[in-house]
Amino acid sequence: MLVGGIGLIVFFYISLSVGIYDVSLQQLIDAFLRRNVSGNIDLVIFHFRLPRVILAGLIGLGLGIAGGVLQGITKNGLADPGILGINSGAGAAIVVFMFFFQGYVSSTSWLFTLTMPIYGLVGGLAAALIIYLISWEQGRLDPQRLLLTGIAAGAGFGAFTIFLSLKMKAQDFEMATVWLSGSIYSANWMFVLAVIPWFLICVPVIMRRTYMLDLFRMSEESLISIGVSVEKEKSILLLSSIGLISACVSVAGSISFVGLMAPHMARLIVGNEHKNIMPVCGLIGMLLVIGSDFIARTVVAPAEIPVGIIIAIIGVPYFVYLLFKVRM
């Protein structure tokens, strides 16, 4: 955690200081301490870069923790909010919302910004329920069927989202593509304030129940025999993780593979106890998204690459590696 924290500070500094308009360390310190205030530097740091870096960190934190929860509940190391179709379900619900309110939505509207996570939650829950029901077999959740169902559901929701977005007006279609590609280039302080309440509610709930994820390694019969309400605990953890995923999708679109990679890296570093895994999952997720967003913003500047593409370039080979590892 100490090494990761230092790395996070370094990533924050680099993301705030490096870009088309470079900012020196002294200028950065002066800006935060309000000494020798410069309008241009204030605009670059506080209007463009700082909300974007904070939002990227929150998205990485949420997706990393949610991925750890999903892998713990399903006992499947390949589980990920994107791969299981929950991201696609949340994104589809948001695009439906945008479709029915064409011309009335804006990324600078408080009502629109605060309402998006709620629609994302509905879509994520619908996707999770469909996947859960299809994967349920003989009184238990089949991990293999869960993965296949999630991939199929994600493809279905993705196709529906594209079909709906193509029927939008030009301005609304442009907004919809932000969610489809997984990008945070339009980050602002309203987006940050919109997702923080979801983190304040969902993260503490998950952290207080990390011991349950350790117990889920046992069979359901064993858990029931020691008095654990299995389905209730699974529902609470699943609902909390979907709340985090929906909040992240509502401001950044479908960013996959963070929830897949972060738990695996965390287990390699700190072992298998979820009280240790969860904080490290969040930290690794923050490093992944902030680092990927910096690359997306600078590698082809002044143009940008969606951060979802950068993470996918890293995540796809890792996913293939895990598939072969599971087969072996």
Q: 42-80 burial, b for 16+ CB within 10 Å, e for fewer?
A: eebbeebbbbbbbbbbbbbbbbbbbbbbbbbbbebebbb
Assign 326 a pLDDT band (cuts: 50, 70, 90): low
Q: Half-sphere exposure of 205 toward its Cβ, with a 13 Å CA cutoff?
A: 21
CB-based contact 147:75 (threshold 8 Å): no
Q: Taking Cα atoms as reference points, which of 63, 174, 82, 199 lies closest to residue 131?
A: 82
- Asked whether the predicted pLDDT for residue 235 surpasses 90, the reply is no
What phi, psi does 301 have (nearest 5°)?
A: -55, 145
User: How deeply is 85 buried, as exposed, middle or buried, from its count of CB atoms within 10 A (0-12, 13-18, 19+)?
Assistant: buried
**Rounded distance, CA 122 to CA 149, Å?**
19
Considering the chain, what is the average pLDDT of its residues?
Answer: 84
Mean pLDDT lowest among 55-69, 169-183, 215-229: 169-183
Task: Say what the pLDDT of residue 94 is.
Answer: 82
Q: Any idea where the domains of the chain sit in the sequence?
A: 2-327
CATH, domain range 2-327: 1.10.3470.10
- Asked whether the predicted pLDDT for residue 65 surpasses 80, the reply is yes
Mean pLDDT lowest among 13-17, 63-67, 136-140, 303-307: 136-140
Q: What is the mean pLDDT of residues 145-173?
A: 82
Q: First vs last Cα of the chain: how many Å apart? A: 32
Q: Half-sphere exposure of 116 toward its Cβ, with a 13 Å CA cutoff?
A: 33
Assign 103 a pLDDT band (cuts: 50, 70, 90): low
- Asked whether the predicted pLDDT for residue 328 surpasses 60, the reply is no
Predicted TM-score of the model (pTM): 0.89
